[in-house]
Amino acid sequence: MRRILTVVAALAAAAPLASPRALQALAQDTSQVREGVRVGVEYQPGTRPGLVVLPGSGLDSARAIIRRDLDYTDRFEMVVVADAPNGGEGLGTSYGIYKTLGAQLAVELAAAPGGLTARLHDLNASRVRNEQTMSLPAPTDPGYRLEVHRIADEIARWASGTPGFAASRLLFVSGGRVYRVDSDGDQAIPITAAGGTALSPVWAPDGQRIAYTRLEAGRGGVVVHSLVSGAALVAPGSQTALNITPSFSPDGRTLAFAHSDEGGTDIYTSNVIDRCCAQRLTVGRYADNLSPTFSPDGRRIAFISTRAGPPQLYVMAANGTDQELLAPFDFGATGSSNGPEWSPDGANVVFHREVSRSPQLFLVDVAGRRVRQLTSSGRNEDPTWAPDGRHVAFVSDRSGRRQLWIIDIETGRVRQLATPGAARLPAWSRRLGRTAVSTNP
């Protein structure tokens, strides 16, 4: 995706058309790490409202998913109860009991024809704040979990004013294949066929397409793959040499990527809807340029360049003009910067940068060009934003192998996503609409 890749050693031997500088930038250290992450934010516990998901009869699977989704928003102090004081159906006169347990909000779920009815109770005001009956397919339906996630996001919006990110998915690479996984770490499904080598996956904004590099004999085209029809095309301009780190524009029409050959590595764009018009945005000569990421308004592209020596974070207009340094750096104090991704609100770019030869996550404030370090322990790299703009998924090997982790940049809470095998190069989707489906190879 929009990040420097970790490429196996065989790639260096098998990629005669890739420039030496590009292959050096692609390599990442995999040494042992110390456990733990310290976030550069301060959080005072007790400032979030207490929320309880009420027990009840039926809907056990949906209730468990919604409770977990609301917990993962990091916007509530979750209050766990084993049995409802009034027997498990509604609240009745039990508002005071749940308030005693520390809850200010209560979520009630009740079965309804063709779905469920969700109610959000304001315990302090002793009233129902929101109520809605929502459709829900059978638990055996492939779309069941995603629909439950959408319900959880809506309840989060009722309770906090901001929807959750549960109805989104992540891509990652494991064993040379691209996988898709739900935001809660469940339902990991391979997207690409076994036996190939896929790299740097990225979501299209519509959630119905992905793009990734398909590596073959040291060369790699950028494949745009439809999750609806299964159709695939090679992006114009990427049919030759090595093409890496693709990134979609916000409207989904344009794909930016890095094209690497004997002349260097430069950023190109092409129109993947009309299948035409490859355009070169940078001129490498004595520097490599890669890992493009579009701003949410599509007007700018942040990218990595070696023009000043080690790879660092730059920004330019979407047509390639006005190229300048985005994230200040200090030679000697910090090293290479890699893996940028623009935040959904456009205010920040997250990336990883070497500190004492260990990659750590950083944020740069786009307006003020202020850089803030998010992590300081272990090796943490390849960040990608959740659609809520406050959670970041990244890769760390603190558990003994490369796995996906998620950090809340406001509270500092970190959790792991279980994945089959080692995981690399995550990419987080936007919130997915009901037309977003996946097909297996």
Angle at alpha carbon of residue 156, lines to 104 and 53, rounded to 5°: 50
The last residue of one of the domains, among 160, 192, 215, is: 160
In this structure, are residues 386 and 165 in contact, taking their beta carbons and an 8 Å threshold? Answer: yes
377/328 same-domain check: yes
Q: What is the pLDDT of residue 88?
A: 43
How far apart CA 175 and CA 153 sit, in angstroms, is: 32
Say if 434 falls within a structural domain. no
pLDDT (0 to 100) of residue 401: 84
CATH of the domain at 215: 2.120.10.30
Q: Which amino acid is residue 301, in one-letter code?
A: I
CB 397 within 8 Å of CB 403: yes
Enter the pTM of the model: 0.87
Please identify, among 131, 160, 189, the residue that sits at the C-terminal boundary of a domain: 160
Domain match, 215 and 141 both: no
Are 292 and 326 found together in one domain? Answer: yes
| C-alpha span between 428 and 440 (Å, rounded) | 19
Q: Are residues 137 and 83 in the same domain?
A: yes
The answer for 195, left when phi > 0, alpha when psi is -120 to 50, beta otherwise, is left
**Going by C-beta distance under 8 Å and a sequence separation of 6 or more, which residues neighbour residue 146?**
167, 182, 432, 436
Same domain flag for 181 and 234: yes
Backbone angles phi, psi at 72, to 5 degrees: -70, -15
282 Cβ contact partners less than 8 Å away, ≥ 6 residues apart: 266, 267, 289, 303, 305, 316, 320, 323
Based on the domain organization, do 151 and 221 belong to the same domain?
no
Q: Which of 127, 160, 193 is the last residue of a domain?
A: 160
Q: Give the separation between CA 367 and CA 391, rounded to whole angstroms.
A: 20
Per-residue pLDDT of the chain (441 residues; tens, 9 = 90+): 333 333 322 333 333 334 434 433 333 322 232 333 333 333 344 589 999 999 988 899 999 999 999 999 999 999 988 765 544 445 555 788 899 999 999 999 999 999 999 999 999 999 999 999 999 999 999 999 999 999 999 999 999 999 999 999 999 999 999 999 999 999 999 999 998 899 999 999 999 999 999 998 879 999 999 999 999 999 999 999 999 999 999 999 999 999 998 888 999 999 999 999 999 999 977 899 999 999 999 999 999 999 989 999 999 999 999 999 999 988 767 899 999 999 999 999 999 999 988 999 999 999 999 999 998 878 999 999 999 999 999 999 887 888 999 999 998 899 999 888 889 999 999 999 875 444 444
Give the alpha-carbon dihedral of 386, 170, 265, 298, to 10 degrees: -40
Say whether both 110 and 189 belong to one domain.
no
Q: Which amino acid is at 333?
A: A
Task: Count how many domains the chain has.
Answer: 2
Q: Is residue 440 part of a domain?
A: no
Quick one: 108 and 20 in the same domain?
A: no
- Rounded distance, CA 4 to CA 305, Å? 11
337 - beta bridge partners? Answer: 353
Are 102 and 131 in the same domain? Answer: yes
Examine residue 435 and state whether it is found in any structural domain, yes or no. Answer: no
Q: How far apart are CA 200 and CA 213, in angstroms?
A: 6
Same domain, 55 and 30: no
Whether 108 is covered by a domain: the verdict is yes
Q: Tell me whether residue 2 is in a domain.
A: no
DSSP code string of 347-372: SEEEEEEEETTEEEEEEEETTTTEEE
Cα atoms found within 13 Å of the Cα of residue 239, Cβ hemisphere only: 8
Provide the 10 A C-beta neighbour count for residue 102. 14
Alpha helices in 54-139 (DSSP H): 60-72, 95-100
One domain, residues 382 and 246? yes
Q: Is residue 439 part of a domain?
A: no
Asked whether residue 104 falls in the same domain as residue 122, the answer is yes
Sign of the Cα pseudo-torsion (253, 257, 260, 263, in order): positive
Question: Could you please report the per-residue DSSP string of 255-302?
Answer: EEEEEEETTEEEEEEEETTTTEEEEE----TTS-EEEEEE-TTSSEEE
- Other beta carbons within 10 angstroms of residue 106's beta carbon come to 26
Query: Containing H/E element for 244?
Result: strand 242-248
> For residue 136, what is the domain's CATH number?
3.40.50
Q: Which two tokens stand for residue 340?
A: 């940028």
On whether residue 201 sits in a domain, the answer given is yes
Phi/psi class of residue 333: alpha, beta or left (left: φ > 0; alpha: ψ in -120 to 50)? alpha
- Within-domain flag for 189: yes
Range of the domain at 333: 9-41+166-428
